[in-house]
Amino acid sequence: MRIPRVFIPQDLRTGQTVLLPDQAGEHVARVLRLERDAALMVFNGDGREYDATLASLAKHAVTAEIHAVREVDRESPLQLTLAQGIARGEKMDWILQKATELGVARIVPIVTERTEVKLDEERAERRMAHWTSVIAGACEQSGRARLPALEPPQRMDRWLAALADTAASRLALLPDGDIAVRQCTQLDNGAILAVGPEGGFSDNDVALLKQANFHGLRLGPRILRTETAGLAALAALQARFGDI
């Protein structure tokens, strides 16, 4: 059986006994039915993996003891940022999960003119906590030892205005964009990919993106759903310039 990987957001070191988060403890004890001394891998997002064994399995307190630590390198050399027009409910979870598997470095949930999801401050906080757990789960499953950065949800115009002047290529996914993936030249400094929500970008959104020096990237002659478009672009760019 594959050794289960568990994300534990705290300092970790060899010799330490750590308490597993409730859900992970429940999972290894009741679902996988692991016993004392079973092997586990834990990580906290610092780029290392920690070998551990289950030390105790009380009902609400499953602990593991750390024995060894190693650096792992499963991050793509291509730094990709996905600025995703917030999609409804499970679709957004799906996008975050798959983008993490595909090696995205940073995710920015953006509110565009046609975003249907309303996020007041309290809801935004709860969403962030939920999205972080989706991303952590995708790292557990896919073997990443670093979590992609997740920015708080923000209005696209404000995100564009605050966007640091980096050398990353700026690409907006537009069905009528001027460039195709195969025409992209070297992306040595990474890329920022903006994807519209279910209803697409409005004319005003497109104008703002162009003003901020985004180039239109098209993904073939078919219209893809928002949850397909960003993931297809990430996969295509990782294949051409990254580590797929």
The residues of the shown chain that bind ligand SAH, judged by CB under 6 A, are 173-175, 177, 195-196, 199-201, 218-220, 222-224, 226, 229
* CB of 118 vs ligand SAH, minimal distance in Å: 19
Closer by beta carbon to ligand SAH, 20 or else 219: 219
Q: How far is the CB of 108 from ligand SAH (least distance, A)?
A: 14
Q: Which two tokens stand for residue 60?
A: 């609400």
Cβ proximity to ligand SAH, 64 vs 172, nearer residue = 172
What region does 37 belong to: left with phi over 0, alpha with psi -120 to 50, or beta?
A: left
Residue 5 or 170: which CB sits closer to ligand SAH? 170
Which residue of the chain is nearest ligand SAH when measured via CB? 196
Pairwise CA distance, residues 55 & 35, whole Å: 9
CB-nearer residue toward ligand SAH: 62 or 172: 172
Residue closer to ligand SAH (CB basis): 141 or 228: 228
- 98-133 b/e with 16+ CB inside 10 Å = b? bbbbbbbbbbbbbbbbebebebeeeebeebbeebee
Contact 96, 134 (CB under 8 A): yes
Q: Are strands 80-85 and 149-150 parallel, antiparallel or unpaired?
A: unpaired
CB of 114 to ligand SAH, least distance (A): 9
Question: Which neighbouring-strand residues pair with 39?
Answer: 53
Which has the closest alpha carbon to 34: 70, 11, 9, 62?
Answer: 62
Minimum CB distance to ligand SAH, residue 197 (Å): 7
Nearer to ligand SAH, 74 or 210 (CB): 210
Beta-carbon contacts of residue 166 (< 8 Å; ≥ 6 apart): 189, 190
Q: Minimum distance between the CB of residue 32 and ligand SAH, rounded to whole angstroms?
A: 38
- Go through the chain and tell me how many residues it has: 244
Q: What is the closest distance, in whole angstroms, from the C-beta atom of residue 201 to ligand SAH in the complex?
A: 5
Instruction: State phi, psi for 85 to the nearest 5 degrees.
Output: -55, 125
Q: In the complex with ligand SAH, which residue's Cβ is closer, 8 or 173? A: 173
Closest by CA to 194, choosing from 90, 115, 130, is 115
Find the shortest distance in angstroms from Cβ 226 to ligand SAH.
4
